[in-house]
Amino acid sequence: MPGSKPLVSNRLQDLLEAEESEPVSIMKDEFDQLIDREQLRIIKVLWVRELDLFLFVLSNRRIITQPLSLFPTLQLASDEQLSDYIITATGVHWPGLDADLSLRGLLMQEVVKPTAIIF
């Protein structure tokens, strides 16, 4: 009925009210902990189209490499569009492309990246 209050058990109402008043705790996994502990940030983004290569320079002087082709929107962008990026607290944003890459996501991809065999 319009304007009528839905029936909610007293127990459910108590749980809902308790949930609203208690602070929300966010569980952080190993990637979040690493980023926080090391205060990791992306400080520079570079690319070499001829090598299908994206490079992300981190604040700890390490470099994450990924194939540019892994990110189709960015691969199809012009160099001018790629140059127009903003480094954020959590990653990189390309406003003209409405594209984002997170440091957390890049670190996760590093873990699953196959190891190259060099002959």
Asked whether residue 34 is assigned to any structural domain, the reply reads yes
- pLDDT tens-digit map of 28-46: 888 899 999 999 999 999 9
| CATH code at position 56 | 3.30.2020.40
Distances (CA, A) of 57 to 13, 76, 85, 106: 50, 22, 14, 11
Q: Where do we find the tokens 């990637």?
A: 31
In a domain, 11, yes or no: no
- 68-100 pLDDT per residue, tens: 999 999 999 999 999 999 999 999 999 999 999
Residue 21 located in a structural domain:
no
Residue 99 lies in a domain: yes
Range of the domain at 61: 30-112
111's CB contacts (< 8 A; 6+ apart) are none
* Bridging pattern class, strands 86-87 and 53-58: unpaired
Count how many domains the chain has.
1
